[in-house]
Amino acid sequence: MSQTYQQYLKEHHEQHLEELFDFLQIPSISSLSEHQPDVRKAAEWLKAELGKTGLEHTAVMETKGNPVVYGDWLHADGKPTVLIYGHYDVQPVDPLNLWKSDPFKPEIRDGKIFARGVSDDKGQVFMHIKAIEALMETEGELPVNIKVLFEGEEEIGSPHLAPFVEAHQELLKADLIVVSDTGMPELGKPTICYGLRGLCGLEIHVKGASSDLHSGEYGGGVQNAATALVELLASFHDQDGRVLVEGFYDKVEASTPEEKEAFAKQAADEGQIQAQLGVPALFGEKGYSYAERTSVRPTLEINGLQSGFTGEGLKTVLPSEAFAKVTCRLVPNQDPYEILSLLKKHIEAHAPKGVTVSVTEFDKGYPYVTPRKHPAIQLCGKAYEKVYGVPVTYTRGGGSIPIVAEFDRILNIPVVLMGFALSSENAHAPNEHFHLENFDKGIQTICTYWNELKTLPLS
């Protein structure tokens, strides 16, 4: 054929953006039950798109939760098989008033696409589809065998994906998995993430009197649920941000000398990070750099809390209820079930007087470190370098993709974390965006990677 995939992508750039915008307009928020129909709509949309590229066996496959979208192309005889993973569900959008444009009406400003999910992870899912399309349209075939698996529950901890993978091991059999749900530190600095933090957490609920009370009549007489919650939450950290839950750090590994060296190099960026985040100072566990604290150290964060009267003005009420959502990011050797039980023991030991404390667990995920010397990862680095023209960096990420450790456990094949998001693109926050530069280069990097992978020695 006369046209290269690069030319094809250039020619269809506007059309591809329009299609991406269609996808982004579906408010597929997995944590809010009222958006369940939207989540399904996004799955159906994806299935249709996969079919158009020439993938076969495309299907919306049921789980006990949101469906999985599958498709494959298995005609590259003797070549490796890649399983591509991504997710089509997105985070909630509140506080909505902080968005400069509607989170579900995508807009391009300053070379960036603004929309919920564009960076995490719909944009990256879409890029894989367009890479397949470009190769199929220009070459008529793919250089490797491809299976795609897009889920709709990543943002709520992938509760039903591991059972799905367990049940479909033959269908999902592959030589490697490529997960595009991570990123690079800044534009022009391609990065392969080789580690993810695990996740566990709970909602803490404090109950005092049977209803809110007048703070004048009752103030001083009974425990205030907000005060009790605050006392309990404050017991989790010292003033430098070190977690005080007994046993929390026991199994955390020290960094290797190689990692220490890499962290030392990144320390120079701390002033810039501080300015970019708009904080009066960076903050966290003593003796560890910002880069260490956000990747190889575990954390315990309050994600939200509420009690009593939070409206305009003053209401002199003594709140009867208070709650907080708390999650931990875990590092290798920390077991989410074990950490959760340490947390619960801590809560029991520190439960304030005069109130009842109860907890609800969130879903859990194991931490994971990929085999960074594996040829599949090295070839991915080569693809990045060809497109971006600079050497690729290897780092461990602070985020969690719970299913990654499960893929490893169930399918026992290497996971390549090939991501194009920037950490400054407000994933999970208002004004999420994605750089057009990485959208374009990312699709090319994917196409390049599939071509490189042809040479992967098969086991």
Report 142-201 residues binding its own copies (CB under 8 A). 156-157, 197, 199, 201
Size of the site for its own copies (CB under 8 A): 101
Q: Which of residues 54-93 bind its own copies (CB under 8 A)?
A: 91-92
Pick from 178, 204, 347, 355: which binds its own copies (CB under 8 A)?
Answer: 355
Q: Does 213 bind its own copies (CB under 8 A)?
A: yes
Q: Does 353 bind its own copies (CB under 8 A)?
A: yes
Tokens of 283: 């903050």
Pick from 171, 273, 359, 369: which binds its own copies (CB under 8 A)?
Answer: 273
CB of 199 to its own copies, least distance (A): 7
Convert 160-214 into a string of H (helix), E (strand) and C (coil): CHHHHHHHCHHHHCCCEEEECCCEECCCCCCEEEEEECEEEEEEEEEECCCCCEE
The answer to whether 64 touches 160, Cβ cutoff 8 Å, is: yes
Q: If residue 403 lies in a helix (H) or strand (E), which one and from where to where?
A: helix 402-411
121: preceding bond cis by omega (within 30 degrees) = yes
CB of 398 to its own copies, least distance (A): 5
Q: Does 31 bind its own copies (CB under 8 A)?
A: yes
At 255, is the secondary structure helix, strand, or coil?
Answer: coil
Amino acid, res. 199: L
Q: Does 283 bind its own copies (CB under 8 A)?
A: yes
Amino acid, res. 445: T
Report the greatest alpha carbon distance in the chain: 84
Q: Does 272 bind its own copies (CB under 8 A)?
A: no
CB neighbour list of residue 369: distance below 8 Å, 6 or more residues apart? 194, 195, 332, 396
Q: Which of residues 284-303 bind its own copies (CB under 8 A)?
A: 284-285, 290, 293-294, 297-299, 301-303
Q: Which of residues 377-416 bind its own copies (CB under 8 A)?
A: 397-400
The answer to whether 72 touches 82, Cβ cutoff 8 Å, is: no
Q: Does 423 bind its own copies (CB under 8 A)?
A: yes
Pick from 2, 14, 33, 286: which binds its own copies (CB under 8 A)?
Answer: 33
Q: Does 280 bind its own copies (CB under 8 A)?
A: yes
At 41, is the secondary structure helix, strand, or coil?
Answer: helix
The answer to whether 123 touches 439, Cβ cutoff 8 Å, is: yes
Pick from 209, 262, 343, 413: which binds its own copies (CB under 8 A)?
Answer: 209
**Of 12-20, 238-246, 366-374, 434-442, which part binds its own copies (CB under 8 A)?**
238-246
CB of 71 to its own copies, least distance (A): 28
The answer to whether 379 touches 452, Cβ cutoff 8 Å, is: yes
Pick from 171, 282, 369, 436: which binds its own copies (CB under 8 A)?
Answer: 282
What are the distances in angstroms from CA 143 to CA 76, 182, 357? 6, 24, 57
CB of 288 to its own copies, least distance (A): 8
CB of 182 to its own copies, least distance (A): 10
d(CA 124, CA 73): 19
CB of 68 to its own copies, least distance (A): 20
Pick from 66, 124, 145, 224: which binds its own copies (CB under 8 A)?
Answer: 224
**Of 47-55, 76-84, 231-239, 261-269, which part binds its own copies (CB under 8 A)?**
231-239
The answer to whether 58 touches 394, Cβ cutoff 8 Å, is: no
Q: Does 318 bind its own copies (CB under 8 A)?
A: yes
CB of 349 to its own copies, least distance (A): 13
Amino acid, res. 353: K
